[in-house]
Structure 1
Amino acid sequence: MSPMVTDILLQVGLILLSIFMFLALHDIPKKLYAKFRLRNRSQAQAKRHFVVGAQLLARARSRSDSSRSAVAPLAEQALAEADKAVALDPTDAAAHILRSLVLDLQGFKSSALDAIDAALSPLAAKSLSERELGDAFFKRAELKMAMGRRGKVESAIGDLDRAVELSPENARAFCLLGECYEAKKMEAEARKAYEDAVRIEPELALAREALDRLVSSS
């Protein structure tokens, strides 16, 4: 081995030794490990709150035909669990979506829209699969249309285009896209969207009725 190579290896060894000494001196590996463990623990706790919240939401929905007094306590408990999940892991889109669904059930459309916006933020959206992301875009479009604000149709169409691209088997997304096109007097586009909805889900009454209406009016 040449003297030059020996000198280079010696310098590299000294640099690595200095780095290890610095890390050990400042207790950095231990701190990183503790931080990693803390994050894992927070994520696990967040998942538990999410699961409990989802179960409570399912129970609340099953009683949606009952009196409001039967639904409200379950919805409030579900929202509390969703809030805990979001606080522990704000980058998990599922917790934001759960929060949005509960708020929607409670009738708080604007707050539900804010929650779904959080789920679709760049940091949180990364935790969703393509299909889940498509379903989230559909839910946001649904909320926009339900609120009936001026200018929301165009924005909803943008979300629905993403929804059917990412989740092409979502018949309800195609159906809502048809409604948006109808609202804009774009009958050819509306008919195509309703036809796609019926192709995916032949028993979807809303899409079939819309197609019949468009045919009879043409």
Structure 2
Amino acid sequence: MTASDRTPGKPEEPRVTVEVPVLRIGAGLDDYEGLSRFVVSLRKPQGLHMTLLHVGILDHLVADIEAWTKGRSTPERVLPEIVSWLTELPVLEGFLGKSDRLVPLGGGRLMGLEVDVPQEVHDYQALLVQGLHVLLDDLGLDNIDDFILSSHALGYRSPRWLPHIAVGKAQSRQQGATELAPVAIEFGDSRIRHRESLPAQ
């Protein structure tokens, strides 16, 4: 399957990410709901998370890899390797972060809390990217940085990771960053989003 083969209107498979769940923002729900002054359609607090690595829809990633290698890396080989790599990733233990800034995301369509996280979180995220490089090298890809930035499945827009939590829609495309009173954020252990959708090994 290529990007052009993806049928409009067809239900998409789950997008797989490595993420950490948000357990608490500030003193509780009131602190979070106060953000409704700045965003439209504030997201439900129980679904808040911070993405450490976006892997995307696995079938799409497999297709991107097959196209990049001109068919040398077949889906029958690639998919089990990706799933094995994902399920063997080490777990990052829960941690505390803080935020004092609301920033536009996704070209200005969304707003999110920019989060200051401990160095070990940056180190873990860098480990994920390094591991992805090794995986793609093992799968026969060349120019891996170019692949990562061009793959529609991976969805990278920049090589620099910005720790953030998407919280809702921007009030307008012109909405800029907003300074906030500093708030502590508690995160849980890292996990694979939609892990239950991964093919059995």
State whether TM-score is above 0.5.
no
The answer to which structure has the higher helix fraction is 1
Q: Quick one: higher RCO (CA 8 Å, sep 6+), 1 or 2?
A: 2
Give TM-score scaled by structure 1 length: 0.23
Structure number with bigger Rg: 1
Give TM-score scaled by structure 2 length: 0.24
